[in-house]
Structure 1
C-alpha cells in the first residue's frame, strides 16, 4: 500500500524543497516504507529502456539472422557448384590433352617406324646402287651420259641429318604428357599448345622430303646411266650385226635359263627397284656385247704394217691368172711379230699345205681366224689366247713368194673380208676400251 505523504518544508538556502514520494509496504503487522528519490526513478527508467532496446535488438537479430544465414549458405553453395563445374571442366580438358598426347605418341611411333623402314630401304638401295655404279664405272665413258662421275651420290650428310631427325623424334617420344599448364591454371580453360605430334610432323616432313630428294637424285642418275649403257650397247650391237654377229640372239639365249614351273602372275615392282633392274639389265647387256666384241677378231694382227694384198680376186703369183685371195697380206720381214686379233682357243697350230706354218683360232659364234706362212709358231692346240697375245713370227713358208703375214677371217667356215672387222675394230676402240 502506497500512501504518499506530503509535508511542507522550507529550505532556507534554495527555497522550496521537492516533495518526496514514499512507498509504504504493509504485510500483516509489518509496515515498511521506502522513499523514492528522482534519481532512482530515472535509473529504473533507463534500465527498463535498455531492456526494451535489447529485447527489440535481439528480436531483430533473430529475425534477420535466418535471412543472412540463408543468403550466405546459398552464396557458398553457388560458389561451390561453380568451383566444382570448373574443376570438372579442367579435369575433362586434362584428360583430353592427355588422351591427345597419347594418341599423338602412337602416331609419332608409327611415323618413326615408317621413317626407319624408308631409311633402311634407302640404305639397301644405296648398297645395290653402289654395286651397279661400280659396274658402270668399270664400263667407262658412256656416250649418252658423258663422262661417268667417279663419286657416288653424296648421301652421307643427308643420312646423318636423317639419323639426327630420328633421334629428335625419339627424344620427343621420351617425354611424358605435359599437364602442368592445366594444373597451374586455376578455374579456367587451357588452350591446346604445340604438341609432340605437331613437332614430330615437322621433323618427319623434313626428313621425308630429304628422302624423296635422295631418291629422285638416284633415279635421275640411274636413268642417265641406263640410257648411256643402252646407247653404247646398241651401237656395239649394230657394229657386230653389220659384221654378221647376232649378239642379241646370244644374250636372249643366255637369259633364257628358265626351264619350267607353275605359272604365277608377275609381281608389281616399285619405280626405284624397276629402275635398278633396268640399269642392271642395260649394264649386263653392255658387258655382254663388250665381251663379245673383245672376243671377236677386231684387232690388227700386225700393228703399223702396210697391207700389200687385199681380199678378193687377184692375179695368182704362181700361175698369173685370177685366183681368189681369201685374206689380206701385211708386209713383214721374217721374224716379225704376229698377234691374235681376238680372244679364243687355238684349234690348229702347225703345217697346213699352202698355208705353210699356220695357226687357227676359234673365237666363238662361228668366227675363226687363220695366220699363215709363219716362220715360227709360239702356241699349241688347246691354248687360250687373249686379244693382242703373241702367237708366232712372220715368215715365207708354204705357197708364198716372200716373207709376209697372211691373215684370214672366216664365218662358219667361209672366208669374209677381214677389212670389215678391222674397220669395225677402229670404231669399237672407243666403245670397248
Structure 2
C-alpha cells in the first residue's frame, strides 16, 4: 500500500430532495480523533482528581508533618550538641588561660631571678677573667602571648605533669588542641630547664669562686704571709639539714658568700708584696744560713740577693707607703716600704733612691737603682720581706705570687 494514493471517503446525506455530501480527509479524521481522545483523558483525569483529592491532600499533609517533626528533632539534637561543645570550649579555654597564666608567672619569676643574678654574674666576670664554659646564662624573655592565643578555645589532649590530665575526644588524628597542648608541655619543660640551668650555673660559679679563693689563701699561707679574711663565718656550725625551701635563694646566698670571700682574698693579695722586684734576674745568694762573703763564717742571711748591673731599675713588690729612704748602716742606701698587716719590704745596697719617706707607691713602681753601697762585695739588690719585724723567705713569697698571678 505504500506509495499508492488512497481516495478520501465521501459521506452523502439525503433528506427528501435535498442531498448533502462532504468529504472526510485523513487529517480531519486524525484531528477529530485527537480532540476526542484529549477530551476523554481530561474528563477522566478531572474525575479521578475529584474522587481522590481528599486522599492526596491528607497524604501530603501527613508527609509534611513527618518532615517537620524530623527537622525539629534534628534541630534539637544540633542545639544540644552546640551547647555541649560551647560548654566544653569554655571549660577548656579556662584551663588554657590558667596554664598560660602559670607559665607567665614562672617566666616572670625566672626573669626576676635573672635580674637578681645579673649583678652577681657581673661580679663573677670581674673577679674571673673568663667564666667556666658550662655556666649557662638565662636567655631573653620570650613572648608567650604571641605564641599561644588564649582567646581561641582549645581542647587539650594531655597536659604535662605540671597540670592535671585532661582528655580530648578521640578523633584518630592530631588536632590543633593536641598541638597546643604539646606546646604547653614544651614551654613548661623549657622553663624548668632554664631554672635548673640558673641554679646549676650559680652553684658552679660559687664552687669556682670558693676554689679560687682557697688557692689564693693557700698559696699565701704556704709563703708565710698573714691571712685575715673578715667574713664573719669562722665561728659557725650545727647539724647539716637539707634545703626544704627555695633552692634558688640558697644558691644566691652561697654565690654571694663565695664572691665575697674571693673579693676579700684578691684585695688582700693585691696589697701584699708578692711581685719580683727584679724580674728576669738570677739569685746570687738565697735566704737562710750561709757563709758571710766578707768574714767567711756562717751567718744568717735575712733576704735574697739578685745579681744585676749597677743602675738597673728596682720595682716595688707591692702597694705600700715608704717608711725609710736613705742610708742605713750595712744596708747602704735602702728603701723600706710598709704594705700593711705587719708586712714590710727592704731594698738595700742601692746606687740611687727614687722615692722619699711618706710617699705612697704602687705595685711595680720604681723605687731605686741597683748599686753596691754599704756592706757589699759587688752590684746587686739585697731584698727582704718581713712580718712584724721577723724576716721570711722572699723566694717563697715570689713563688706564691707567680702561682696566683693568673687568679688575680
Which TM-score bucket, shorter chain as reference? 0.5 to 0.7
Post-superposition CA distance 1:381-414 (Å, at most 9, x none): 3433332221211223334343321111111221
Mapped to 2, the partners of 1:105 and 1:351 lie a distance apart of: 91
Partner residue, 2:213: 233
Which residues in structure 2 correspond to 1:348-427 (within 5 Å)?
Answer: 348-427=324-403
> Do 1:368 and 1:411's aligned partners in 2 also have CA atoms closer than 8 Å?
yes
- Higher helix proportion: 1
Mapped to 2, the partners of 1:383 and 1:319 lie a distance apart of: 37
> Do 1:105 and 1:197's aligned partners in 2 also have CA atoms closer than 8 Å?
no
Aligned alpha-carbon RMSD (Å): 4.1
- Does 2:147 match 1:168? yes
> Do 1:343 and 1:363's aligned partners in 2 also have CA atoms closer than 8 Å?
yes
Which residues in structure 2 correspond to 1:57-72 (within 5 Å)?
Answer: none
- After superposition, the Cα gap between the structure-2 partners of 1:310 and 1:198, relative to the gap in structure 1 and judged at 3 Å, is same
Give the drift of 1:98: 3.0
> Do 2:138 and 2:198's aligned partners in 1 also have CA atoms closer than 8 Å?
no
Task: Decide which structure has the larger Cα Rg and report it.
Answer: 1
SS at match of 2:373: coil
Mapped to 2, the partners of 1:428 and 1:285 lie a distance apart of: 15
SS at match of 2:310: coil
Equivalent of residue 314 in structure 2, options 311, 320, 338 = 338
What TM-score results when the alignment is normalised by the length of structure 1?
0.62
Give the drift of 1:129: 4.3
Mapped to 2, the partners of 1:123 and 1:379 lie a distance apart of: 54
- After superposition, the Cα gap between the structure-2 partners of 1:275 and 1:333, relative to the gap in structure 1 and judged at 3 Å, is same
- Does 2:96 match 1:108? yes
Mapped to 1, the partners of 2:393 and 2:154 lie a distance apart of: 86
- Does 2:191 match 1:203? no
What TM-score results when the alignment is normalised by the length of structure 2?
0.66
SS at match of 2:98: helix
Which residues in structure 2 correspond to 1:70-81 (within 5 Å)?
Answer: none
Partner residue, 2:110: 122
Which residues in structure 2 correspond to 1:14-413 (within 5 Å)?
Answer: 91=79, 93-140=81-128, 148-149=132-133, 153=137, 155-156=139-140, 159=141, 162-163=142-143, 165-169=144-148, 172-175=149-152, 200-245=180-225, 247=227, 249-253=228-232, 270-317=246-293, 319-413=295-389
Post-superposition CA distance 1:67-108 (Å, at most 9, x none): x99xx7xx979x86x987876665555444333333333333
Give the drift of 1:240: 1.6
Mapped to 1, the partners of 2:369 and 2:110 lie a distance apart of: 57
> Do 1:348 and 1:358's aligned partners in 2 also have CA atoms closer than 8 Å?
yes
Structure 2, unaligned runs of 5 or more: 1-57, 156-168, 235-242
> Do 1:139 and 1:287's aligned partners in 2 also have CA atoms closer than 8 Å?
yes
Alignment coverage as a number of residue pairs: 331
> Do 1:141 and 1:148's aligned partners in 2 also have CA atoms closer than 8 Å?
no
> Do 2:136 and 2:197's aligned partners in 1 also have CA atoms closer than 8 Å?
no
> Do 2:225 and 2:387's aligned partners in 1 also have CA atoms closer than 8 Å?
no
Structure 1, unaligned runs of 5 or more: 1-67, 179-190, 257-266
Post-superposition CA distance 1:246-304 (Å, at most 9, x none): 53x41425x79xxxxxxxxxx97533343344333333323332332332222211112
